[in-house]
Structure 1
Amino acid sequence: MIRTILFSLILSSVFTGCNYFEKPTEENVVARVNDNYLYLSEVESLVPENSSKEDSILIVNNYINRWATQKLLIEQAKINLSPDKLQQFDKLVEEYKNDLLTESYKGAVVSKQIDSVITEEDYRIYYASNIDNFRLKDLLVKLRYIHLPPEYDGVQEVKQKLSRYDKKDKKSLTTENYRFVSSNFNDSVWIKKQMLLNVLPVLKGINEQVLKKSNFVQLQDSLGVYLVKIEDVLNPNDTPPLPYIKPTLKQIILNKRKLELIKKFEADITKDAIETKNFEIYTNE
């Protein structure tokens, strides 16, 4: 149905007053620019099924005009640009096409052969061998915190539990019905300083010396009381812990394996071509 509507729209509306062509060479031709033809099959998928007649006309008309303009510009470029420039473009297009073909093929072959399993030993070996390449650029913090509403009754009790944080305290803080505005008790995860400041803007105004290992900080603003227990800190230029950079190491290791497979594949395909006499180098001696 959409095919019939489109063809009707094109014939009745799009070309009214537009001399795209006098006689279509085929039934399914909808536009012509010199020897270039645009076919119905190329435009019928442009219009969504539920489009109104007006929207359909606009979509098709815009596409046809863009198509025609591009074809006209290309033809004028071929006439007005120098032969050397056109030859240069042809060469670039051919090189780009070749790159697309070869890279796509190598990628398909490698994706079937690559070992994507990375063991803990793989991580440790690469980490130990390249540790100097992974110095931190940002301050990292492990912490837990609680944001209490203003005038909270029982700050000292919560503060004591968050600081001591034994098994009983953990259960109490995470299961009892405290009125926390927000909280974080996962103090095993490293957080970048900027992310921390985004979560707790109240820290922006304090001395950075407060962000020290084992420090406990109590702050207050118009939004409430903040209790922050710093578990650990790593400074810029420190060595990052292995768990923190595992995602980065994973990509590096996989890319290294991929490059090694590509290099081997290229060598093998060339060797096979030589052995089967499909590749020969002629010397002029």
Structure 2
Amino acid sequence: MFFRFKSLRPKGYSWMVLALFVVSCNSLWKDNSDEQPIARVGELYLFKEDIAPLLSNTMSKADSASFVTDYINNWASKQLLLSKAKINLSEDKLGEFDALVETYRTDLYTRAYKEALVQQGSDSVISQTQLETFYEKEKENFKLKEKLISLRFIHLPPQFMNKESVVEKLKRFKEDDIRYLDSIGVQFKKLNFNDSIWVTASRIRDEIPLLTLDNQDRYLKKSQFFELQDSLGVYLAKITGVLEINDIAPLSYIEPSIRQVLLNRRKLDYIRKLETEIIDEAIKEKEFEVYAQDK
């Protein structure tokens, strides 16, 4: 991931809920009086236009026919089973299932509506100051569970010429060295010159198969330069930084996670505000009342 590889005042919400309802119930209300059904189960009919959107233009006639047959049989099976279930299940069980369906329906609509409002009104920009403030406040919760390394790295092909020059410039890494290495970078199998980025030790082991859990501490030490070779080529690395397990993770490493946490918190706060404003507005407009109950 880090290596560069070469190889409320929510006005007007009612229309949104209505739109969701109309879409979901489209097949219930459509008029098929002029169309011939292709199958029937009891009083329910299946029409060609119900299946047409599911057919791909790339299907052969034989595949289309087979798909339609399977679809009709599956549809009929479900309708017949549903009919039998309504007859044979107890009233209590049917009522329980109906309540679950209604709860799911309500949750689906309200969740979609709230997500739409959040996208319209919630700020998705997290400033660097906000990231740093949260990091400083919570940094004790960001202890590492795996060793992190920053390094410069080159994977040379097996027959690469002038390896000594590359080694010298990777170690020294002055402006002229960087320009030279960049200019011949297309000859490398893999490279990473950005030694300000932290990567896990396991990721480095993936890139350098000769490194293992048993020997990594020998090579992954700060300021260490190492050269390893196998049939795939030569691995050159200069370690510029090491953070051990239980060290505090650097902000640059956990910034994406912090950003997501802050966005989620902001989203929840915005939704709570919307819910409160919806209730307040309904009370003001006398659309919502709570009646006193006798104790």
Alignment TM-score > 0.5, same fold: yes
2:57 aligned residue? 49
When Rg is computed on C-alpha atoms for both structures, the one with the higher figure is 1
Alpha-carbon distance, 1:92 to partner: 0.4
1:12 aligned residue? none
2:67 aligned residue? 59
Alpha-carbon distance, 1:95 to partner: 0.5
2:188 aligned residue? 180
Alpha-carbon distance, 1:26 to partner: 5.9
Q: Is the 8 A contact 1:145 1:184 kept in 2?
A: yes
Using the TM superposition, name which of 67-76 and 177-186 deviates more. 177-186
Match for residue 176 of structure 2 among 168, 172, 176: 168
1:255 aligned residue? 264
Could you say which structure has the greater relative contact order, defined with CA pairs below 8 angstroms and 6 or more residues apart?
Answer: 2
Question: Aligned pair in 2 of structure 1 residues 101, 145: CA closer, same or farther (>3 Å)?
Answer: same
**One-letter code of the match for 1:258?**
K
Alpha-carbon distance, 1:260 to partner: 0.5
Match for residue 193 of structure 1 among 186, 201, 224: 201
1:225 aligned residue? 234
1:146 aligned residue? 154
Unpaired runs of at least 5, structure 1: 1-23
1:240 aligned residue? 249
Q: Is the 8 A contact 1:141 1:233 kept in 2?
A: yes
Unpaired runs of at least 5, structure 2: 1-31
2:17 aligned residue? none
Match for residue 265 of structure 1 among 274, 277, 282: 274
Q: Is the 8 A contact 2:185 2:191 kept in 1?
A: no
Distance 1:102 1:125 in 2: 34
1:68 aligned residue? 76
Q: Secondary structure at the match of 1:130?
A: helix
Q: Is the 8 A contact 1:28 1:41 kept in 2?
A: no
Match for residue 105 of structure 2 among 97, 100, 116: 97
**One-letter code of the match for 1:132?**
E
Alpha-carbon distance, 1:276 to partner: 2.1
Question: Aligned pair in 2 of structure 1 residues 135, 40: CA closer, same or farther (>3 Å)?
Answer: same
Alpha-carbon distance, 1:86 to partner: 0.8
1:130 aligned residue? 138
Q: Is the 8 A contact 1:114 1:257 kept in 2?
A: yes
Distance 2:185 2:207 in 1: 23
**One-letter code of the match for 1:119?**
S
Distance 1:77 1:129 in 2: 57
Q: Is the 8 A contact 1:149 1:180 kept in 2?
A: yes
Alpha-carbon distance, 1:25 to partner: 7.9
Alpha-carbon distance, 1:217 to partner: 1.1
Identity %: 44
Question: Aligned pair in 2 of structure 1 residues 181, 173: CA closer, same or farther (>3 Å)?
Answer: same
Q: Is the 8 A contact 1:135 1:236 kept in 2?
A: yes
**One-letter code of the match for 2:240?**
E
Distance 1:253 1:43 in 2: 44
Q: How many residues align?
A: 262
